Structure 1
Amino acid sequence: MRGASALIFGGLLLTAPVCAAQTIPWKDVSGWSVLIDPSTGNGCFISTMYEDGTILRLGFNFFQSQTKIYLALGNSDWKSLEVGKDYPVQIQFDRNPVWNATAQGIDFGGINFLSVSTTDTNFAEEFSRKLGMRATFNGREVAALGLKGSARAVTEMINCQESVNAAASARSTPQSPKDPFEAAPDKKSANDPFEL
């Protein structure tokens, strides 16, 4: 077994539903939805729902001192999960070594989720390259999920994030005026105080 650098996922996602109106759709890829979540600093994420009602979400959170990748698992049947409570969980991709993590109980739009985050990029790489994922709590399996299409979904999530970051960068860069000699609109002529 190996330990992951998984950390408790912060409270900024506590009020954001998984696929609510606050999120912005980007694209659907191979059974996964790619969306943008303003509550995570315009972090892109992927999400899918399984037949048993389990929802899986993987994405970026920029409201931390370091950019983090988070994984959230939820199900409307998990009513005993307590929001804000820590849960020691193990996550395993195929037969790879187990990631030990501390998950936090959160509420996304009335559905209880376990959420973990990490700065270790190997986590997302394993997620995208493997066929399945298991999550266990106290030795009991809470989810066994297929990851079909996850490689294409993660690639599109990264494309989404690159586009969002480029757009944000373009907005924050001041534009030079086309005519550098034109007076700024907020500057008044010293000789004519009524000049618009």
Structure 2
Amino acid sequence: MFRSFTLAGIALMVSLAPGQAAEVVGEAGGWEIYRDANMGGGCYMMSAFEDGSIVQVGFDLKEDAAFMAVFNSDWTDITDGNAYPMTIDLDDQKWEADGHGVSDNEIGGIIVLIENEEFITDLALKNTLSLSNSDGEVALLDLTGTRDAVIATADCLSAS
């Protein structure tokens, strides 16, 4: 359902702070919607959560790939470039993934390429996202407003 992370280009483009090539094109459901020239005009949604996690979900048109990235300043033990097996649980709908570690020693993150469009649909329709590794749950996020953000991100792509 997910494939191993093999596109290093996305890791370079997805970052915690949007670069100069990214522009805010809207807001929906508590998420900011961005269009990014470095992603071939692709779009992504980004939101911060109460536990300090920052989540990005989007579409890199340059790499022809969908992705989800989760960052947290408590995840400083993540090694840049390492693979991290994980389970993403959307209201008891489980997705297995191999995440790609991204770290700058101040904040760590996991980037996952999304192969199955059903994941985006589930993300839009579910209430919570739990991210777990072999040690247990590392994030539990409230998805309120995510449906509107997924629609807005799709609209952003249509306008490209």
On whether the aligned pair clears a TM of 0.5, the verdict is yes
Unaligned runs of 5+ in 2: none
**Identity of counterpart residues, as a percentage?**
25
Cα distance in 2 between the residues matched to 1:78 and 1:124? 25
Unaligned runs of 5+ in 1: 165-196
Matched, 1:115 2:114: no
Q: Residues 24, 109 of structure 1: CA spacing in aligned structure 2 closer, same or farther, 3 A cutoff?
A: farther
Query: Alignment partner of 1:127: what SS?
Result: helix
Higher relative contact order (CA 8 A, sep 6+): 2
**How many angstroms does 1:39 deviate by?**
2.4
Q: TM-score, length-normalised on structure 1?
A: 0.75
Partner of 2:36: 37
More strand by share: 2
Contact 1:35–1:45 (CA<8 Å) still a contact in 2?
yes
Partner of 2:60: 61
Contact 1:18–1:109 (CA<8 Å) still a contact in 2?
no
**How many angstroms does 1:37 deviate by?**
2.0
Q: CA RMSD in A?
A: 1.8
Aligned AA (1:131) = N
Q: TM-score, length-normalised on structure 2?
A: 0.90
- 1:57-99 per-residue CA deviation (whole Å, 9 max, x = no partner) reads 10002233xx321111110121110110000011010012x11
Partner of 1:13: 10
Contact 2:101–2:111 (CA<8 Å) still a contact in 1?
yes
Residue pairs, 1:7-156, within 5 angstroms: 7-8=4-5, 10-16=7-13, 17-22=15-20, 23-64=22-63, 67-96=64-93, 98-107=94-103, 111-156=107-152
Q: Residues 147, 109 of structure 1: CA spacing in aligned structure 2 closer, same or farther, 3 A cutoff?
A: farther
**How many angstroms does 1:110 deviate by?**
5.5
Cα distance in 2 between the residues matched to 1:109 and 1:46? 24
Q: Residues 63, 7 of structure 1: CA spacing in aligned structure 2 closer, same or farther, 3 A cutoff?
A: farther
Q: Residues 104, 45 of structure 1: CA spacing in aligned structure 2 closer, same or farther, 3 A cutoff?
A: same
